Amino acid sequence: MNGGLLVAGTTSDAGKSVVTAGICRWLVRQGVKVAPFKAQNMSLNSFVTREGAEIGRAQAMQAQACRVEPTAHMNPVLLKPGGERSSQVVLLGRPVGEMSARGYHGGRQERLLGTVLDSLAELRATYDAVICEGAGSPAEINLRRTDIVNMGIARGAGLPVLVVGDIDRGGVFASFFGTVALLAPKDQALVAGFLVNKFRGDVSLLEPGLDMLHGLTGRRTYGVLPFRHGLGIDEEDGLRVSLRGTVRESVVAPPVGEDVLRVAVCAVPLMSNFTDVDALAAEPGVVVRFVDRPEELADADLVVVPGTRGTVRALEWLRERGLADAIVRRAAEERPVLGICGGFQLLGAHIEDEVESRAGHVDGLGLLPVRVRFAREKTLTRPVGEALGEHVEGYEIHHGVAEVSGGGPFLDGCRVGQTWGTHWHGSLESDGFRRAFLREVAAAAGRRFVPAPDTSFAALREEQLDRLGDLIEHHADTDALWRLIESGAPQGLPFIPPGAPA
């Protein structure tokens, strides 16, 4: 078997990442050697592979669904927004420069088609099947000429296309029909059919509409996936705790101790790797929320200043909103504060940035004895160490180089009292360390909170991925899906006018 499939969507957030992960987990449970692929990802949530390459976290999670190690070939182009109109371009895991949207779509993107097709060919030579994820909608007629992630990659590699639609938003039939009708004839020939996502209610009431859609387009629907709470995987972007709420949507286990622990995460601009707090949200009795006002820190037992693609901009934002003063007061009162990556940098005494913001010399919050200098070379590593007597693993993605001149040691960063700072993302996923850290936080906050002794973050992720696989296995036509992956789009699919504009 040397199969492949492109999972496209009628819109952004239609469920492409979740469906791709679900198909991957379903296939691997059938004994298929499978890999995920996304030619171009735009996200501030990224991950470092074992070879030191930076890729989107969604593709890293999809690789976990496949039970394989992620590689740069699974996400050869990653765009990391640095503002409204520019992004850092990461090519095969390494940053190659900043570029405006106009410059990227004006020619650079089109030149990358060969690179992404080579990466896809490398995966297809290694795996039995490659499940590809598109981006946004394949019917962005203004961007089709330079497209390398939707129909560009489908046509270049001869992949069948499955279009996912979020019926919970409404208008799914119009979205399915319109998506096909705005594609050129050669693109339409690859669109095999549809998958309805997030359906609530009686499927029998939907079936007449699916029959009508088949009559209008000549294309079948491969499944109707029911709405399920808390099914997200690591998000590309957004303000949502991806593992459980999801927190507000799913059943939260009661605390083991007498008290809950309240965690406030500062929703800084260009927030990156906010998935760091997923492991906290997975703990029974830990309540995580994102905040943007100083009064929301008042009852927090722990304040987290997360990573950001714009450290200086985030620092200015904290000061403008009064959050900076509130954090400084907390530190003076020995109330816990944790800074991760960019959040760690702005807790320091001084920042010298001629790379990211080009702001030059900037004073930090002065809570940690750290001076940060931004280097043009990005640090991309997977460190392993020990803290609070526990084994810890993480990953680093940053331009800022920290010079620590005091305080206690903490994951290559430092701590002063109850203010902690580290460049390590993902450290809280180490179960023993997370429990030890939460015990320290609870003691400092005066809370009778006790971490659950048996919470395994890795096991929770596996359960999540199995739930996605179950969703495909139980609610999609897996025989038809298998034929599609193995043999490609059906022959003789009709053209739906008007097609793409000239």
Enzyme catalytic residues: 341, 425
CB contact at 8 A, 65 and 45: no
Report the 10 Å Cβ neighbour count for 5: 26
Q: Are strands 161-166 and 191-199 parallel, antiparallel or unpaired?
A: parallel
Q: What is the DSSP string of 440-469?
A: HHHHHHT------TT--HHHHHHHHHHHHH
Given the structure tokens 């760091």, which residue do they identify?
276
Return the exposure string of 66-78: e unless at least 16 CB atoms fall within 10 Å of the residue's CB, then b.
Answer: bebebbbbbbbbb
Q: Are strands 370-381 and 396-404 parallel, antiparallel or unpaired?
A: antiparallel
CA distance linking residue 311 with residue 363, whole number of Å: 12
Backbone angles phi, psi at 298, to 5 degrees: -60, -45
Q: In one letter, which amino acid is 373?
A: R
Backbone angles phi, psi at 263, to 5 degrees: -115, 125
Q: In one letter, which amino acid is 303?
A: V
CB contact at 8 A, 42 and 79: yes
Which 8-state DSSP code applies to residue 239? S
CA distance linking residue 177 with residue 343, whole number of Å: 45
Which 8-state DSSP code applies to residue 78? E
Given the structure tokens 């909103």, which residue do they identify?
321
CA distance linking residue 401 with residue 350, whole number of Å: 12
Give me the torsion for CA of 465, 471, 472, 474, rounded to 10°. 130
Backbone angles phi, psi at 51, to 5 degrees: -85, 5
Using alpha carbons, list the distances in angstroms from residue 400 to 260, 344, 351: 35, 10, 9
CB contact at 8 A, 387 and 415: no
